[in-house]
Amino acid sequence: MGERKAALVTGSTSGIGLAVATAFAKAGMDVMLNGLGDAAEIEKLRAGLEHDAGVAVKFDGANLMDANAAAGLVESTVGAFGKVDVIVNNAGMQFVSPVEDFPVDKWNAIIALNLSAAFHTTRAAFAGMKQRRYGRIINICSAHAHVASPFKSAYVAAKHGLLGFTKTIALEGATFNIRANGISPGYVHTPLVENQIPDTMKARNMTREQVINDVLLAAQPTKEFVKAEDIAGLALFLLSDAANQINGASLNIDGGWTAA
């Protein structure tokens, strides 16, 4: 990859973001971690990854619900590494409820985190990427950027919006060697998915096993969860030379869900 790249991965204290950040560090990139969680545990994670990978790994706990904090996260990444070459907009949350009962504050939170935060980080980083004529933006979308499921109105709206945003910046950056793509996973068994099982049990009047088999894996023709490490592998591929002409795409990694 030539000179060492600097990557910001939002929401990288857990799940998919953590797998991506780990893969990036092990591939020789400096990495800015971000996310919520127990400070001591996060520090252990950060120090362990830095030690194992032999790169610089920093942490900034910016709360991405806040526009200024999201832009500030880019600033602190540039402060740490002198630049930001790669942004993976991954931080996200879910809430499951019939639309007529959907709490307004949950709607606003999901739009802020799953959609607007990607705008704020991109907006803050784009001029620098243009100037250096290098930028790779990977937005973690979802099968729900393409298809809907009942009771996930905010999430589905945010993910459709995130893919539209991805396509737009792909066009704006195209001649500046900036590439923007979406990765659209099916179900990955992370805390985000685990936490929605009880609400889905309630909303659909089902047992835990029924939710896993008849709701979650029912959508995936392979009947298997996607692995967070597989998504990290795809993100690494998007940074490779072979992916130079992949721009504005949604790469589906969903066991065939959106083919059905």
Closest Cα partner for 234 from 222, 224, 223, 249? 249
What is the nearest approach in angstroms of ligand NAD to the Cβ of residue 119? 14
Closest Cα partner for 69 from 138, 32, 124? 124
Interface contacts to ligand NAD, rule CB under 6 A: 11-17, 34-37, 63-65, 90-93, 113-114, 140, 142, 185, 187-188, 190-193
CA 222 to chain centre: 23
Helix 153-173, helix 117-132: angle, nearest 10: 10
What is the nearest approach in angstroms of ligand NAD to the Cβ of residue 175? 29
- CB-nearer residue toward ligand NAD: 118 or 134: 118
The active-site residue, picked from 81, 155, 165, 187, is 155
Taking the C-alpha atoms of residue 33 and residue 7, their distance in angstroms, rounded to an integer, is 9
Beta strands in 55-212 (DSSP E): 57-60, 86-89, 135-140, 178-185
Is 187 an active-site residue?
no
Task: Specify the 3-state DSSP secondary structure of 95.
Answer: coil
- CB-nearer residue toward ligand NAD: 18 or 55: 18
- CB-nearer residue toward ligand NAD: 38 or 52: 38
What is the nearest approach in angstroms of ligand NAD to the Cβ of residue 114? 6
- Which of the residues are catalytic? 155
